[in-house]
Chain A
Amino acid sequence: MLSSQHLSPEQLSPRTVLVAGGGVAGMQVALSLAALDVPVLLVERNAHLGGQVMRLDKVYPTDHCAFCPTWSMARACFEAPGVQVLLHAEVVGLSTDGDRTLAEIRVRQLEIDPAACLFCGACAAVCGKNALRKRDPDMTWDPALPPAMRIDSSLCDGCGACERACPVQAVHLRPEPLTVTLPVADVICATGFTEPTKGDATWTEEFGSHTHPDIFTAMEFEAWHGESRGEKVLRTRSEGRPVRRVAFVQCAGARDARHLSYCAAVCCMHAMKQARWLKRRQPELDITIFYTDLRAPGAGQEAYMRAGGNEGIRLVRSRPGLIKPSPLGGIGVRFDDPETGAGRGERFDIVVVNGGLAQCRLPQAAGAAEGALRTATRCGFCDEPADVAGAVIQGAATAARHVLNQRRSEGGAA
């Protein structure tokens, strides 16, 4: 891991490739490049590597834990000699300078620099407010975060005793965001996707008051379901009633000229995975998936879908036009019945709105030359919607293409 204190152009080899985004695609690019002796600067916005996959509970089609393979990749990134990981940092702009690319990186400095912190607890010993937390890195639930002390800002009075006590000067109570411009040989953009936010105006109109606690987005549902797994019966978030009927609404905001015109490719399998867990957890649940086309083209995916159909998951080929909390309780879903062609409504306890995963792109530096961003190769979901397997393949292939191009141009120059 790279400390923002040591971030300077001199630290980087001129061959360094900047990989923006530390999800599975970005990590695979970084590891593959490092294996081919290309130094990598892996820049991740969040506090941990793993991206969206780290937020998943399980992965299809194996139904295995999502965390383990992702974490082992993250660990490998931290340990690979050729990979420098920069967390809490964002690429805010790209421009070109001759044959090199200048990347403007904004680092959100933390009160305690995780790359420098020894995790020794000297700061906690002197804190009068007990604001510094020492969590055992081997025992904490969240091993994705680097081992470092953490400040509870609600307790901290800013006395500065910890700053003075730190043997390695890792504590800065009033950190300022740092922006550096680094010259790199190439930029690979693996920035993945974002889920539409709940306040999105275009969404609220069609999908009811999207702020209702029983209407979930898919990623939200994944986290909520994972957390509530200890309970025997699934209960609604709003009133705590036992859940009987669950609906998954596919292609919400996707394949729709008003929102995202494309298909996000992963949502059908994602919904089926969640539906099958629910069935396994509570077989009596009545689960419906509203779909446009049920797309399961990947390895082992059709078999997964068929198994779901055999488990009693109801599949309705229809695109609901309205999702709204019903005055009779629950969430009303209006859709065209594919059998009769007539409109009808049904009530559900929980509705999971799926789809509309927006590709993230890197921003262009202010005042940079037009088209400078085209130097950034895209890979993973931000290039073409992909699931974990697709992103991993694309990551390794992108690394191969970079190295081949590099060798070709070096050969040409020589």
Chain B
Amino acid sequence: MKVCLFCTCMGTLSAALPENALRSALPGVRLVTAKRLCHTDSCHETLNALSESLPPHARVVVAACSHGARGAQATGCIKKTFTNLSVELADIREGCAWPSAGADEKDRTAQAASLIRMAFAHLEQRDEVPPLPDPERRVLVVGGGPAGMAAASTLAGLGVPVTLAERRPATGGMLNQLGRLFPLMNEAQEVDAELPLNGVDVLTGTTVSAIRREKGAWVAGLARGEEKLEERFGAVVLAVGAQPVLPGKKFGSGTLKGVISQMELDTLLSAVERGAKSAGLLPTRAVFIQCVNARSDEAPYCSSICCPTAVKNALRLKELAPEASVTVLHRQMVMPGVRLEEMYRRAMKNGVRFLHVDDLGAVHVEGEDVVQSVRIASADGSTERIEADCVACSTPLRPQPAAARLAEGMGLRTDGMGFFLGHEPAHPLESDGEGVFICGSARWPSFVHQAVEQGRAAAVLAARFLNERRMPMDEIPEHGPAAFIRKELCSGCGRCVQACPHGACSLGDDRRCAVDAELCRRCGSCAAVCPCRAAVLPSAPSAREIMAALGTKPALQRRPS
């Protein structure tokens, strides 16, 4: 049954297009007028009056203003109320009544009627593209560091079933290694307490060997010692974290006593803060070297957390041993924002010396067995020597080796270094995988408080992803939302296999192409490159459809060779 809802736009549209003229121009269509379909109350009034005489699955064309004006509201209101109707918008205001205001009324009505017929032709040729399959309502969080714990804790709080897999025997990740944290200078254990894992299925000592896509879900291979199992999840939050790069042999590290990494200094300071005897433990003349193994050609990125960590440790050292001298050799102090800049100023005020060095090649750590001084050669030939009993090298974080393996199996992109790539900048936590979210240092080196924020944000995104209404997998029609190949026309040239950016096209044993409906994103690349016109995108109008909409008979089609 063809029903056309004609919105008179409070009488303004029916003044240009008289209802009766339109009705006689549309034989076989039941024309129903409404005053103002974009207004919820008015729309409901019309629909309620109509609903009794409306058969299920009726085809409804809304003849109103354009999508960008109020048309979207009108169709949206109808779709929300009657989910089983096929609704199409015919723009007869901006598309007809306005531009043809000066034309003869008869021509204008004919034009509007043909727009409405076109809309019906659309509906007849094509059903609504069904929504994507309903995912498993469970989330897997990979990694039990601050980001992963925040994600799991938030998801559990939101009532979403969640499993947390951590490869170590306990959760906490970096929190277990760190002492006091920027910016509140609170203890890492306090953060732990803020992220309760009640209601989370916590699997410690469990490695995630691989995750693959199968039938609308992510199937994760979990290994716990000898025990191996596979489980299905609707969404995945990747919070595998990162690991610190070691200074290697740079600046006498490993050979000279007193040359340590910033991480080791952090541990030392934590020990003293917790009451260890400080005599002889704490350095009295410390030199920090920033950007060791970072921002170089081999590692062309700024790890972003090392400068604040160095300043934090300088402040802690100054607090524990006010007489100690601290010099920070930096290429650039990366302390963006309000809190970091304030901390930087506080450090300068407390007597921490910041020395700008353009090239770390000019810095030499001197001493026999034990570090004695740091020599800096300036470009103008002068040298400066700083007495030191401790040299702390700030090194960046680098991605976990496991990240690359997971990314490859899941078809996610990583940057040159191996950090997961999100859709910067508006959707930074959303990866290429459907329902796969990234957070924490696996995405980019983050402070603990940033990792927690990202974990919480990723949890919201995952919950939203699972809450979206979708159609169960088995209800999707054979030629459902995905592209499909008309096998009788396919020559097996494989162009679609190359063109498909989602890896959905593949050549079968019969040397004919097939499309994996789950991987297909309906981009139409296969249909565009197919020389045989065998690849078809159901949502795109075919030549036949366009001709029918225009009311013309299809011309003789050239047979595809």
Which residue numbers of A lie inside 8 Å of B, CB to CB? 24, 32, 35-36, 59-62, 69-70, 73, 79, 118-122, 134, 136-138, 143, 147, 167-168, 255, 261-265, 293-303, 306, 317, 339, 359, 384-389, 392-397, 399-401, 403-404, 407-408
**Docked-complex contact B428 and A261, CB < 8 angstroms:** no
Give the residues in chain B near A388, CB-CB below 8 Å.
425-426
On whether A120 and B302 interact (CB within 8 A), knowing A35-B460, A299-B444, the answer reads no
Provide the bound-state CA to CA distance between A268 and B335, in Å. 12
Q: Which of B12, B345, B415, B426 contacts A167 (CB 8 A)?
A: B12
Question: Any chain A CB within 8 A of the CB of B36?
Answer: yes
On whether A138 and B67 interact (CB within 8 A), knowing A384-B337, A399-B460, A400-B154, the answer reads yes
What's the least CB distance linking B328 to chain A, in Å?
13
The interface-forming segment of B68-76, B246-254, B506-514 is B68-76
* Chain B window 272-285, contacts with chain A (Cβ cutoff 8 Å), 1 for yes, 0 for no: 00000000000000
**Docked-complex contact A138 and B94, CB < 8 angstroms:** yes
Give the residues in chain A near B501, CB-CB below 8 Å.
none
Provide the bound-state CA to CA distance between A385 and B335, in Å. 11
Question: Any chain A CB within 8 A of the CB of B327?
Answer: no
Q: Which of A147, A168, A387, A395 contacts B10 (CB 8 A)?
A: A168
- List 24 interface pairs A-B (beta carbons < 8 Å), by A numbering: A121-B12, A136-B94, A167-B12, A263-B335, A265-B337, A297-B303, A299-B419, A299-B422, A300-B424, A303-B416, A306-B300, A339-B379, A387-B425, A389-B422, A389-B426, A392-B457, A393-B428, A393-B453, A393-B454, A393-B457, A396-B456, A396-B461, A400-B460, A404-B154
On whether A118 and B67 interact (CB within 8 A), knowing A302-B302, A392-B427, the answer reads no
**Docked-complex contact A400 and B38, CB < 8 angstroms:** no
Provide the bound-state CA to CA distance between A404 and B156, in Å. 10
**Docked-complex contact A120 and B12, CB < 8 angstroms:** yes
Give the residues in chain A near B379, CB-CB below 8 Å.
339
Question: Any chain A CB within 8 A of the CB of B176?
Answer: no
Which residue of B has the minimal Cβ distance to A388? B425
Q: Which of A168, A293, A296, A392 contacts B425 (CB 8 A)?
A: A392
Which residue of B has the minimal Cβ distance to A341? B380
Question: Any chain A CB within 8 A of the CB of B270?
Answer: no
Q: Which of B9, B302, B426 contacts A301 (CB 8 A)?
A: B302
**Docked-complex contact A122 and B12, CB < 8 angstroms:** yes
**Docked-complex contact B467 and A118, CB < 8 angstroms:** no
Taking A32-B464, A386-B337, A404-B157 as known contacts, 5 extra A-B pairs with beta carbons closer than 8 A to each other, sorted by chain A number, are A35-B467, A263-B337, A299-B422, A388-B426, A392-B426
Which residue of A has the minimal Cβ distance to B11? A167
**Docked-complex contact B12 and A59, CB < 8 angstroms:** no
Provide the bound-state CA to CA distance between A297 and B336, in Å. 8
Which residue of A has the minimal Cβ distance to B444? A299
* Chain B window 94-122, contacts with chain A (Cβ cutoff 8 Å), 1 for yes, 0 for no: 10001000000000000000000000000
Give the residues in chain A near B11, CB-CB below 8 Å.
167
What's the least CB distance linking B60 to chain A, in Å?
20
Q: Which of A62, A118, A136 contacts B9 (CB 8 A)?
A: A118
**Docked-complex contact B460 and A303, CB < 8 angstroms:** no
Provide the bound-state CA to CA distance between A404 and B336, in Å. 29
What's the least CB distance linking A146 to chain B, in Å?
10
Question: Any chain A CB within 8 A of the CB of B338?
Answer: yes
Give the residues in chain B near A297, CB-CB below 8 Å.
302-304, 334, 336
Q: Tell me the residues in window 218-252 of chain B with beta carbons closer than 8 Å to chain A beta carbons.
A: none
What's the least CB distance linking B467 to chain A, in Å?
7
**Docked-complex contact A262 and B70, CB < 8 angstroms:** no
Provide the bound-state CA to CA distance between A396 and B461, in Å. 8
Provide the bound-state CA to CA distance between A211 and B303, in Å. 39
Provide the bound-state CA to CA distance between A79 and B67, in Å. 13
On whether A401 and B456 interact (CB within 8 A), knowing A255-B341, A384-B339, the answer reads yes
Q: Which 6 A-B pairs have the closest CB atoms?
A: A297-B304, A167-B10, A69-B426, A396-B457, A265-B336, A388-B425
Give the residues in chain A near B356, CB-CB below 8 Å.
317
Which residue numbers of B lie inside 8 Å of A, CB to CB? 9-13, 36, 38, 65-70, 72, 76, 93-94, 98, 154, 157-158, 295, 300-304, 332-342, 345, 356, 379, 415-416, 419, 421-422, 424-429, 443-444, 452-454, 456-461, 463-464, 467
On whether A59 and B425 interact (CB within 8 A), knowing A394-B453, A396-B460, the answer reads yes
Q: Which of B332, B425, B457, B467 contacts A61 (CB 8 A)?
A: B425
**Docked-complex contact B158 and A403, CB < 8 angstroms:** yes
**Docked-complex contact A303 and B463, CB < 8 angstroms:** no
On whether A143 and B68 interact (CB within 8 A), knowing A118-B9, A138-B94, the answer reads yes
Provide the bound-state CA to CA distance between A69 and B427, in Å. 9
Q: Which of B337, B425, B456, B457 contacts A60 (CB 8 A)?
A: B425
**Docked-complex contact B70 and A302, CB < 8 angstroms:** no
| A62, A297, A396, A408 pick with most chain B CB within 10 angstroms | A297
**Docked-complex contact A121 and B98, CB < 8 angstroms:** yes
Give the residues in chain A near B93, CB-CB below 8 Å.
120
What's the least CB distance linking A307 to chain B, in Å?
10
**Docked-complex contact A118 and B94, CB < 8 angstroms:** no
**Docked-complex contact A384 and B70, CB < 8 angstroms:** no
Provide the bound-state CA to CA distance between A192 and B337, in Å. 13
On whether A118 and B38 interact (CB within 8 A), knowing A262-B341, A392-B425, A394-B453, the answer reads yes
**Docked-complex contact B464 and A35, CB < 8 angstroms:** yes
Give the residues in chain A near B72, CB-CB below 8 Å.
79
Q: Which of B13, B301, B416 contacts A120 (CB 8 A)?
A: B13
Which residue of B has the minimal Cβ distance to A296? B302
Provide the bound-state CA to CA distance between A136 and B99, in Å. 10
**Docked-complex contact A70 and B426, CB < 8 angstroms:** yes
| B339, B425, B457 pick with most chain A CB within 10 angstroms | B425
**Docked-complex contact A118 and B157, CB < 8 angstroms:** no
Provide the bound-state CA to CA distance between A119 and B422, in Å. 40
Give the residues in chain A near B456, CB-CB below 8 Å.
396-397, 400-401
What's the least CB distance linking A239 to chain B, in Å?
37
Give the residues in chain A near B333, CB-CB below 8 Å.
293
Provide the bound-state CA to CA distance between A36 and B456, in Å. 13
Provide the bound-state CA to CA distance between A303 and B302, in Å. 9
Which residue of A has the minimal Cβ distance to B151? A400
Provide the bound-state CA to CA distance between A162 and B70, in Å. 21
**Docked-complex contact B157 and A32, CB < 8 angstroms:** no
On whether A79 and B426 interact (CB within 8 A), knowing A118-B36, A255-B341, A385-B338, the answer reads no
What's the least CB distance linking B392 to chain A, in Å?
20
Provide the bound-state CA to CA distance between A297 and B301, in Å. 8
Give the residues in chain B near A395, CB-CB below 8 Å.
457
**Docked-complex contact A262 and B428, CB < 8 angstroms:** no
**Docked-complex contact B68 and A137, CB < 8 angstroms:** yes
Give the residues in chain B near A36, CB-CB below 8 Å.
158, 460, 463-464
Q: Which of B36, B94, B424 contacts A299 (CB 8 A)?
A: B424
Which residue of B has the minimal Cβ distance to A255? B341
Provide the bound-state CA to CA distance between A96 and B339, in Å. 29
Which residue of B has the minimal Cβ distance to A306? B300
On whether A118 and B415 interact (CB within 8 A), knowing A147-B69, A403-B158, the answer reads no
Give the residues in chain B near A264, CB-CB below 8 Å.
336
What's the least CB distance linking B182 to chain A, in Å?
12
Give the residues in chain B near A143, CB-CB below 8 Å.
68
**Docked-complex contact B94 and A400, CB < 8 angstroms:** no
| B11, B300, B424 pick with most chain A CB within 10 angstroms | B424
| A59, A265, A384, A389 pick with most chain B CB within 10 angstroms | A389
**Docked-complex contact B70 and A147, CB < 8 angstroms:** yes
Give the residues in chain B near A401, CB-CB below 8 Å.
456
Give the residues in chain A near B453, CB-CB below 8 Å.
393-394, 397
